[in-house]
Amino acid sequence: MQVQETEEVACPKCGETSTVPIPDADVELKISPYVAAFGDHTKVDCSDGHTFWVYYC
Ligand SMILES: [Zn+2]
Protein backbone atom coordinates (compact mmCIF):
# COMPACT_ATOMS: atom_id res chain seq x y z
CA MET A 1 0.00 0.00 0.00
CA GLN A 2 1.27 3.42 -0.97
CA VAL A 3 2.01 5.91 1.76
CA GLN A 4 -0.03 9.05 1.35
CA GLU A 5 1.99 12.24 1.47
CA THR A 6 0.38 15.29 2.98
CA GLU A 7 1.21 18.97 3.14
CA GLU A 8 -0.14 21.90 5.09
CA VAL A 9 -1.68 24.76 3.16
CA ALA A 10 -2.98 28.09 4.43
CA CYS A 11 -6.49 29.24 3.64
CA PRO A 12 -6.31 32.33 1.36
CA LYS A 13 -9.14 33.96 3.30
CA CYS A 14 -8.25 33.45 6.94
CA GLY A 15 -4.79 31.86 6.96
CA GLU A 16 -5.98 28.78 8.82
CA THR A 17 -3.89 25.79 7.83
CA SER A 18 -5.38 22.59 6.51
CA THR A 19 -3.69 19.33 5.63
CA VAL A 20 -4.13 18.11 2.08
CA PRO A 21 -3.01 14.89 0.45
CA ILE A 22 -0.40 15.31 -2.26
CA PRO A 23 0.39 12.77 -5.00
CA ASP A 24 4.15 13.28 -4.83
CA ALA A 25 6.49 14.81 -2.25
CA ASP A 26 8.17 16.90 -4.97
CA VAL A 27 4.99 18.43 -6.32
CA GLU A 28 4.42 22.17 -6.10
CA LEU A 29 1.16 23.36 -4.64
CA LYS A 30 -0.73 26.33 -6.01
CA ILE A 31 -3.65 27.63 -4.01
CA SER A 32 -6.63 29.07 -5.84
CA PRO A 33 -9.81 30.64 -4.43
CA TYR A 34 -11.79 29.35 -7.41
CA VAL A 35 -12.01 26.13 -9.35
CA ALA A 36 -10.39 25.75 -12.75
CA ALA A 37 -11.14 23.03 -15.23
CA PHE A 38 -7.63 21.74 -15.67
CA GLY A 39 -4.93 19.89 -13.82
CA ASP A 40 -4.89 17.69 -10.77
CA HIS A 41 -6.40 19.42 -7.82
CA THR A 42 -8.14 18.89 -4.54
CA LYS A 43 -10.85 20.88 -2.83
CA VAL A 44 -10.21 22.06 0.72
CA ASP A 45 -12.69 23.23 3.32
CA CYS A 46 -10.91 25.15 6.06
CA SER A 47 -12.04 25.00 9.66
CA ASP A 48 -13.72 28.39 9.23
CA GLY A 49 -15.88 27.07 6.42
CA HIS A 50 -14.04 28.66 3.48
CA THR A 51 -13.57 26.60 0.36
CA PHE A 52 -10.52 26.82 -1.84
CA TRP A 53 -8.69 24.63 -4.30
CA VAL A 54 -5.14 23.35 -4.35
CA TYR A 55 -3.53 22.58 -7.70
CA TYR A 56 -0.56 20.30 -8.17
CA CYS A 57 2.03 21.73 -10.53
ZN1 LIG B 1 -10.56 30.02 5.92
24 CA from centroid of ligand 1 (Å)? 25
pLDDT score of 7 = 93
55 alpha carbon – ligand 1 mean position (Å)? 17
* Digit-coded pLDDT (tens) for 22-55: 988 888 999 999 887 778 899 999 999 999 999 9
Instruction: Look up the pTM and report it.
Output: 0.81
pLDDT at 1 over 70: no
| More confident: 10 or 2 | 10
Contacts 24+ apart (CB under 8 A), 13-16: 13/46, 13/48, 13/50, 13/52, 14/46, 14/48, 14/50, 16/46, 16/47, 16/48, 16/50
Q: What is the 12 CA–ligand 1 centroid distance (Å)?
A: 7
Taking the centre of ligand 1 as the mean of its atom positions, its distance from the CA of residue 1, in whole angstroms, is: 32
Residue 29: name the closest of 13, 46, 53 by CA.
Answer: 53
